């Protein structure tokens, strides 16, 4: 099975109040001169881990997808990001149609930086737009100017990115349905071919969770969240953005192949602190803190913190949980009779597509997408 790569960049200029990702700010790391000073040394560490990956997987063939995530990958110098790409290409090789994605904060890019990113081979970019409404961005602790998203997307198209995506968040306290409509309309006006829209989740340990606990902000309302999802699907579909996963819509050909690999249970290696990997039913994850990650690699130790081997039943549970999120759904003949019986009430109540069921697939309807988690729980009881 082909081996994709996820490359984690664990640095942000500022931590957003809702974020629980494995990221660190200069203040948290006691860096006084900004993050550019560590760009080269951090990439050196990623190259060391990539060499280790090759020594263990030299027969896997060429890489089909790479994803730079974070954090804020665009804080790194493009030339340094190019060095890790060169290492991967020179060892594993790249497929002719490789997809290389980078996440970007609109504040961190210029026309020149986007030109440099494109020049090193990155061909897909995902901008963290989140909202077009200033008061919503303020609640989320986002620092970018909404107008900057449009400029960044135009620059990306100008310099030749094949695919451009924006990430949106709905359900922020204080965000009305009209606010959300404005965000959707602004996103659809951009030169993009992909949109991810995620419901706000209040994660323990975040600034936002503390505010909720103190009663300073309210938890998102479930009914309003559902209305926002339905509105998004309606407006996206009207502009030829069709859902291919619960939280992702694209125009034809704009799907994120790297994320599809995750949902299909393919193999990937995660480089960087806190990065997760999966190969043939075995999962492992690296130590989280950048300093510990550095110390491990400098001392020629594995950066892995722990691992687990999935049992056959766990593999099947994950297959169902992930595949039911996809537009093509799950083949009925791959499910047990007991699971089929569990799904029948959802078919009769309209959460599963009757025509797809008749042709042998279990596919969520629009209303089914709203209760996908409940359907999965019922199946896996």
Structural domains in the chain?
3-263 (3.20.20.70), 330-380 (no CATH)
Q: What is the mean pLDDT of residues 271-295?
A: 96
pLDDT in tens, 320-373: 999 999 999 999 999 999 999 999 999 999 999 999 999 999 999 999 999 999
pLDDT at 263 over 70: yes
Quote the CA–CA distance of 31 and 41 in Å, as a whole number: 14
Give me the pLDDT at residue 340, please: 96
Give the whole-angstrom CA distance, residue 297 versus residue 355. Answer: 53
Tokens representing 334 are 């791959």
Share of the chain above pLDDT 70, in %: 96
Per-residue pLDDT tens digits for 111-148? 999 999 999 999 999 999 999 999 999 888 887 788 89
Give the helix ranges, DSSP H, for the chain. Answer: 26-29, 36-56, 78-91, 111-119, 134-139, 146-159, 177-188, 207-213, 222-238, 257-263, 290-298, 312-323, 337-348, 354-358, 366-370, 372-380
How high is the pLDDT of residue 34? 63
- The pLDDT-based confidence of 218 (bands split at 50, 70, 90) is confident
Backbone angles phi, psi at 283, to 5 degrees: -120, 145
Question: Residue 276 above 90 pLDDT?
Answer: yes
Q: pLDDT confidence of 19, banded at 50, 70, 90?
A: low
Residue 301 has pLDDT above 70, yes or no: yes
Give the CA count within 13 Å in the CB-facing half-sphere of 34. 5
Report whether pLDDT(13) > 80: no
Average pLDDT of the segment spanning 2-20: 84
Cis preceding-peptide flag for 306 (omega within 30 of 0): no
Q: How far apart are CA 226 and CA 212, in angstroms?
A: 21
Residue 222 pLDDT greater than 90, yes or no: no
Burial of 364 per CB tally in 10 Å (0-12, 13-18, 19+): buried
Q: What is the mean pLDDT of the chain?
A: 92
Which of 2-16, 178-192, 330-344 is predicted with the least confidence, judged by mean pLDDT?
2-16
pLDDT at 33: 65
Give the pLDDT band of residue 23 (cuts 50, 70, 90): confident
Q: Is the pLDDT of residue 260 over 90?
A: yes
32 pLDDT above the threshold of 70 = no
């Amino acid at each position: 099975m082909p081996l994709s790569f996820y490359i984690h960049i664990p640095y942000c200029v500022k931590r957003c109040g809702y974020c629980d990702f494995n990221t660190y700010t200069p203040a948290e790391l006691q860096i006084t001169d900004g993050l550019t000073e560590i760009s080269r040394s951090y990439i050196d560490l990623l190259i060391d881990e990539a060499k280790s990956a090759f020594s263990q997987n030299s027969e896997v063939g060429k890489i089909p997808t790479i994803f730079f995530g974070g954090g804020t990958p665009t804080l790194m110098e493009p030339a340094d990001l190019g060095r890790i790409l060169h290492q991967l290409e020179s060892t594993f090789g790249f497929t002719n149609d490789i997809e290389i994605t980078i996440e970007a904060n609109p504040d961190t890019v210029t026309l020149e930086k986007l030109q440099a990113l494109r020049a090193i081979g990155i061909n897909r970019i995902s901008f963290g737009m989140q909202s077009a409404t200033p008061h919503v961005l303020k609640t989320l602790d986002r620092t970018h100017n909404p107008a900057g998203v449009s400029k960044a997307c135009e620059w990306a198209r100008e310099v030749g990115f094949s695919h451009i995506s924006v990430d949106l968040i709905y359900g922020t306290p204080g965000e009305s349905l009209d606010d959300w409509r404005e965000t959707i309309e602004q996103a659809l006006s951009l030169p993009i071919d992909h949109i991810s829209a995620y419901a706000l989740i209040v994660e323990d340990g975040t600034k936002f969770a503390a505010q909720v606990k103190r009663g300073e902000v309210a938890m998102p309302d479930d009914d309003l969240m559902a209305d926002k999802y339905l509105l998004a699907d309606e407006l996206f579909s009207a502009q030829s953005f069709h859902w291919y996963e619960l939280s992702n819509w694209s125009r034809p050909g704009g799907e994120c192949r790297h994320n599809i690999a995750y949902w299909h249970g393919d193999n990937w290696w995660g480089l960087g602190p806190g990065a997760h990997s999966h190969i043939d039913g075995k999962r492992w994850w690296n130590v989280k803190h950048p300093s510990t990650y550095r110390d491990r690699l400098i001392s020629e130790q594995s950066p892995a913190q722990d691992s687990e081997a999935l049992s056959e039943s766990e593999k099947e549970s994950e297959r169902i949980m992930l595949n039911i999120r996809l537009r093509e759904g799950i083949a009925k003949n791959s499910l047990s009779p007991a699971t089929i019986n569990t799904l029948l009430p959802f078919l009769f109540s309209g959460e599963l597509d009757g025509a797809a069921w008749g042709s042998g697939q279990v596919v969520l309807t629009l209303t089914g997408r709203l209760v996908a988690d409940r359907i999965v729980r019922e199946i896996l009881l």
